[in-house]
């Protein structure tokens, strides 16, 4: 199998829909770009330079060597020069040089500095929202420049002047007001859990529960809300897993979302979304906090919780744990009976979600599980897995229809690697990837199925 070619510059000019005034107001952001937007943007830029030392380091360090050029899936997929990581970062860096370096203040364009103009601002909105913050470029940078931090800073500056995408803003608002990204209210959450319990009863004959708001449970599982809405096999897999272990667990209707889209808007909302999870764990009196199959949820939880809303010293294990970490630990302890033949006939390969592998250290755990439960497991090419994994093309707020051509371009390198594996099933522990790959397979005419790692594990569990 080989993915068909895309036309050059497939993503050029692709624009997200902008958040409307009502939505911006709900998030405490300016409802329109103010007349003094330049001054406000530069003030926010200055604030970020003083509060995030890494940002200034990355802006100063880059020598524009181009080592990152062919490492970005969006540049590889589109051929658009502005999607080279170095070129995208330069959109912010040239304004930094003009306004925040001595040479730029004195010599302006002669020091490769540029004014923050209307045209530059529009370039920011286009290209910093064609970056999934996947950080593949950073793996290959000889100086370790993390372009994702530059993208995050640019988005935060834009938000401060009332420029944000409709998709990210809507998702963040739903997380604040309802507790999850999709907007599932508590009654619907409970009803769906009861329905899935009936499905589990039919499948297994066992009374497997999907508890909600159970105080005193050992584990608070925070899944992506998509697991209750579209990836229901994964939600049922959680239930079967904990039932087989005899471990008490619960979900929370208050914090019914693992994903944190605040990370794609600004620091304030990153912290506010994360706070709901910490508060739910404390109020329910659980002993462990376990995150479900979601990539950026894991990055936000494990990298930022302590500094945002910690410490988690009220927990028995004072850090979040990923469901795959938990699963490997109990498998090694011999607490699960597994039937490897349950997944016979499946040619399975594994996709490393960017935020699990590069940003979260979850690399070998899923492979250990898959080798135990799927005889047909095989890897994609070595230069496309683990820390070098290619992005699915839809993370960081790009999972929206108006930029579908951009998404297809960004996923193309991963599709080619999948085809090279000869697999028929793609196992992936991330809700965003699970939403992206089926439409990508359809677009590229690839006959393959997308499954969760927990889905396959649950099939192999013997009750």
In which element (H, E) is residue 355 found? helix 354-357
- Separation in Å, CA 356 to CA 64, 181, 292, 296, 311: 28, 20, 12, 8, 22
Q: Considering only CA atoms, which of 395, 391, 398, 432 is closest in space to residue 14?
A: 398
| CB contact at 8 A, 378 and 347 | yes
Residues with Cβ within 8 Å of 236's Cβ and at least 6 positions away in sequence, in order, are: 196, 199, 200, 203, 208, 210, 458
Distance CA 374, CA 456 (A): 8
DSSP helix/strand/coil, 301? helix
Beta-bridge partner residues of 348: 377, 425
| CB contact at 8 A, 186 and 418 | no
Give the model's pLDDT for residue 2: 54
CA 249 to chain centre: 24
Distance CA 144, CA 123 (A): 25
Give the model's pLDDT for residue 279: 97
Listed by start position, the domains of the chain span 21-164, 170-332, 340-460
Dihedral (Cα; 394, 396, 401, 406), 10-degree rounding: -60
| CB contact at 8 A, 222 and 297 | yes
206: tokens are 């066992």
Intra-chain end-to-end CA distance of the chain, in Å: 38
Give the model's pLDDT for residue 8: 45
pTM: 0.93
Rg (CA), the chain: 22
Give the model's pLDDT for residue 6: 46
Give the model's pLDDT for residue 129: 94
Sign of CA dihedral 205, 338, 233, 447: negative
CATH number of 21-164: 1.10.1060
Q: Does domain 340-460 have CATH number 3.40.50?
A: yes
Cβ neighbour number for residue 98 with a 10 Å cutoff: 21
Give the model's pLDDT for residue 109: 83
DSSP for 52-82 reads -HHHHHHHHH-----TTGGG-HHHHHH--GG
Distance CA 195, CA 79 (A): 47
Beta-bridge partner residues of 288: 219
Tens of pLDDT, residue by residue, the chain (463 residues): 555 554 444 555 568 999 999 999 999 999 999 999 999 999 999 999 999 999 999 999 999 998 999 999 999 999 999 999 999 999 999 999 999 999 888 887 888 889 999 999 999 999 999 999 999 999 999 999 999 999 999 999 999 999 999 999 999 999 999 999 999 999 999 999 999 999 999 999 999 999 999 999 999 999 999 999 899 999 999 999 999 999 999 999 999 999 999 999 999 999 999 999 999 999 999 999 999 999 999 999 999 999 999 999 999 989 999 999 999 999 999 999 999 899 999 999 999 999 999 989 999 999 999 999 999 999 999 999 999 999 999 999 999 999 999 999 999 999 999 999 999 999 999 999 999 999 999 999 999 999 999 999 999 999 9
- Separation in Å, CA 269 to CA 24, 289, 366, 414, 460: 12, 21, 30, 31, 39
């Amino acid at each position: 199998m080989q993915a068909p070619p895309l036309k050059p510059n497939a993503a050029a000019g692709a624009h997200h829909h902008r958040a409307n005034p009502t939505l911006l107001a709900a998030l405490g952001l300016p409802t329109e770009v103010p007349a003094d937007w330049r001054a406000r943007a530069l003030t926010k830029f200055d604030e970020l330079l003083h509060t995030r030392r890494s940002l200034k380091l990355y802006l100063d360090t880059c020598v524009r060597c181009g080592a990152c050029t062919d490492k970005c899936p969006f540049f590889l997929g589109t051929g658009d020069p502005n999607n080279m990581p170095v070129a995208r970062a330069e959109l912010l860096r040239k304004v930094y040089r003009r306004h925040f370096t001595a040479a730029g203040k004195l010599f302006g364009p002669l020091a490769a500095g540029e004014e923050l103009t209307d045209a530059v601002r529009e370039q920011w909105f286009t290209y910093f929202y064609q970056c999934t913050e996947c950080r593949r470029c950073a793996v290959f940078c000889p100086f370790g420049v993390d372009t994702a931090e530059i993208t995050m800073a640019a988005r935060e500056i834009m938000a401060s002047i009332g420029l944000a995408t409709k998709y990210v803003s809507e998702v963040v608002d739903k997380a604040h007001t309802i507790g999850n990204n999709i907007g599932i209210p508590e009654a619907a959450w409970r009803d769906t859990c009861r329905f899935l319990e009936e499905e589990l009863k039919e499948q297994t004959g066992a009374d497997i529960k999907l508890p909600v708001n159970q105080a005193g449970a050992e584990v608070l599982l925070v899944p992506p809300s998509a697991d209750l809405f579209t990836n229901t096999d994964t939600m049922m897999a959680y239930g079967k897993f904990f039932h087989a272990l005899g471990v008490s667990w619960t979900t929370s209707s208050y914090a019914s979302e693992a994903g944190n889209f605040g990370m794609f808007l600004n620091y304030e909302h990153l912290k506010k979304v994360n706070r709901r999870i910490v508060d739910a764990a404390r109020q329910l009196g659980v002993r462990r906090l376990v995150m479900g199959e979601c990539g950026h949820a894991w990055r936000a939880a494990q990298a930022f919780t302590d500094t945002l809303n910690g410490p988690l010293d009220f927990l028995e294990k004072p850090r979040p744990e990923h469901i795959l970490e938990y699963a490997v630990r109990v498998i090694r302890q011999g607490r699960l009976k597994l039937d490897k033949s349950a997944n016979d006939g499946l040619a399975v390969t594994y996709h490393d979600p960017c935020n699990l592998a590069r940003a979260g250290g979850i690399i070998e755990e899923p492979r250990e599980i898959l080798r135990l439960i799927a005889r047909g497991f095989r890897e994609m090419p070595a230069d496309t897995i683990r820390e070098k994994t290619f992005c699915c093309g839809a993370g960081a707020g790009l999972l929206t229809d108006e930029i579908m051509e951009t998404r297809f371009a960004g996923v193309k390198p991963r599709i080619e690697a999948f085809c090279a594996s000869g697999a028929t099933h793609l196992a992936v522990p991330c809700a965003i990837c699970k939403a992206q790959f089926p439409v990508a397979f359809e677009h590229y005419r690839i006959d393959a199925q997308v499954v969760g790692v927990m889905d396959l594990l649950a099939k192999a569990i013997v009750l």
